[in-house]
Amino acid sequence: MQNFLRILLMTFLIGWGPIAHSATQMPIAKNLEKTAQLATQKNIPIAILLSFKGLNSTKDLKEEALYPNLLSGLYDEAALFREIQVNTKAQTIDFYGEPLPNSLFQQLFNVTSLPVVVFVDSQGNLLTSPLIAGSYEFYGYYLKQKINQALKALNNPLQVE
């Protein structure tokens, strides 16, 4: 019985390994220039969650819609996910190596509603319209649609099914 439980536990841990890795695919952005270099190498978009730290809708979006979709691993090779908290005093290195206050990114991407995900190329140009939090039931569908639009805009034949 004890060996069975060990095998079951190991199977569980091994099976969930890639999923646990996927959960780390949306770190806080620190250096978008480096992120852009990686995105260029892979020819994939950068998906930036513009959030407001402490806002319940940000927490809800992440926990109920965004993270469950990222945990699937479906988007791991299709986009680089980052988060910028626009109400913190932190600075983020922009796409050209210059430090910018996080509060300026909301203006830079011309969004008024938060939280929102923007899809950009390696120079910070918008590839699609922003993905505004709506019904969490359909968030995965719209996320997939936006990523596919962004990939197409980059002339990348990859499409998330």
- What's the token pair of residue 126? 């918008």
Count CA within 13 A, CB hemisphere, residue 51: 23
Q: pLDDT by residue (tens digit) across 75-134?
A: 999 999 999 999 999 999 999 999 999 999 999 999 999 999 999 999 999 999 999 987
Q: Where do the domains of the chain lie, and which CATH numbers do they carry?
A: 22-153 (3.40.30.10)
Global confidence as pTM: 0.84
10, containing H or E segment: helix 2-22
Inter-residue contact 81 to 26 (CB < 8 Å): yes
Name the more confident of 3 and 14.
3
- What's the token pair of residue 62? 């992440």
